[in-house]
A and B are shown apart, each in its own frame.
Chain A
């Protein structure tokens, strides 16, 4: 009897709760009928074993009861998944390698062994992160049946009008551009995460190179969460563009929203006076004479820096909205 219970449990454990009882009852009836009709001299226990073996693998039976197959990432989305995964892996790998090479070149304190060790562990951590996030995003898309390809065959009758327009050359989103974008984000991210001292003014003096950090290292440490979010946002933006492959209104709006969030976070980060090395200007002036009063120009320089960030972001947003509207063929 125990075997029968275990078999029924194995079939029904993953089925929806409201069907479970009914199916259990029906299966039990079936097994009893099969036992009754099993002619043979064997003991009851042996018959049970034979009957259950006849019924076959409970997992297959359970799958038969479930109407639709379930996927973490289904066949519809699998191709995009693999493409995005490859690109993100390559970009993260290249980004981290370049970042490590640069910091290795410019750091005079760390030895090679330490750098290589840090490189290997951060590569491993970054690739695991990349894999996890890409997979989670696609799994969510799968769970809610969001198609990442433009053909939506559910709920509507297909007509010739649904055929996608062959994108005009200008409407295509360059893959290279997105890949370069991801690589640069990865480089920036890895440096600021692992080696914020790298962002510095390097001044050669007769006694060696004087390094004046641009950022206040301990404040940067405190902002690592925002920096990580900025990184994920930029990656998400590029992935949306990679998957879409061409500009349309939906792509333009979603990337613009991400750009706006990115801009706000960036401004929060850089307008915080504590993030800058307070003695930066003073130290530079101490070592070099650049001909004009840097201390006086400081606030103007800062304002222009913020201005450039804002203008660049707005330019990107306007640009993508323009392309999105221009090349949107109303089929989203």
Chain B
């Protein structure tokens, strides 16, 4: 297989791996209200880069699923839509974290064998 083809395959597999973690990363940062762009910056600082084009639609979807609540802040010069975990979202988030930790543990075991 030529190198270029190998690279695109690797890229798409990395993307696939990251896809599942994005939701968890986003939820972890929404215990207090954030707007879309502040979240991009926040995640970037912690070494997780998500492009806005993925994050904004994702926030809306999570809101639609009842995991997030949103409110428009029109007080400041720029109107901004703030998102925050709903009660339901918080319960789900805690359970997801449990799964994550046990998954990581098992994966590490397998990979280090």
State the A residues within 8 Å of B (CB). Answer: 19, 22-23, 25-27, 29-30, 32-34, 37, 54-56, 60-61, 64-65, 67
**A54 to chain B: which residues have CB within 8 Å?**
51
Given contacts A65-B60, A67-B61, contact A29 B54 (CB under 8 A): no
What residues of chain B have their CB less than 8 Å away from a CB belonging to chain A? 35-37, 41, 51-54, 56-58, 60-61, 64, 72, 78-81
Cβ contacts A to B, 15 pairs, < 8 Å: A25-B72, A25-B79, A29-B37, A29-B79, A32-B78, A33-B78, A34-B37, A34-B52, A37-B37, A55-B51, A60-B53, A61-B53, A61-B57, A64-B54, A67-B61
B52 lies within 8 A of A65 (CB): no
Least CB distance, B54 to chain A, in whole angstroms? 6
The contact of B51 among A26, A29, A56, by CB within 8 Å, is A56
Main secondary structure of the interface of A (DSSP, over half): helix
- Given the complex, which residues of B lie within 8 Å of A67, measured CB to CB? 61, 64
On whether the beta carbons of A30 and B78 are closer than 8 Å, the reply is no
A67–B72 Cα distance when bound, in Å, is 22
A55 touches B52 (CB 8 A): yes
Q: How near does chain A come to B41, taking the closest CB pair, in angstroms?
A: 8
Taking a contact as CB atoms under 8 Å apart, the answer to whether A26 and B81 are in contact is yes
Asked if A26 and B53 sit within 8 Å, CB to CB, the answer is: no
In the assembled complex, the CB of B34 is this many whole angstroms from the nearest CB of chain A, namely 12
A23 to B60, CA, bound (A): 9
Alpha-carbon separation in the docked complex, A296 to B16 (Å): 83
Cβ of A29 and Cβ of B52 under 8 Å apart? Answer: no
Residues from chain B with a CB closer than 8 A to the CB of A19 are: 60
> Could you say which residues of chain A place their CB within 8 Å of the CB of B58?
64
Instruction: Collect the chain A residues with CB atoms within 8 Å of residue B78's CB.
Output: 29, 32-33
Beyond contacts A34-B37, A55-B51: 8 other A-B pairs, Cβ-Cβ < 8 A, are A23-B60, A25-B81, A26-B36, A30-B52, A54-B51, A64-B54, A64-B57, A65-B57
* 5 closest residue pairs by CB, A with B: A64-B57, A33-B37, A65-B57, A61-B53, A56-B53
Known contacts A55-B52, A56-B51; is-contact A29 B35 (Cβ 8 Å): yes
Question: Which chain A residues border B54 with CB–CB below 8 Å?
Answer: 64
Contacting pair A27 B37 (CB below 8 A) = no
Task: Give the residues in chain B near A56, CB-CB below 8 Å.
Answer: 51, 53
Residue of A at shortest CB range from B38?
A33
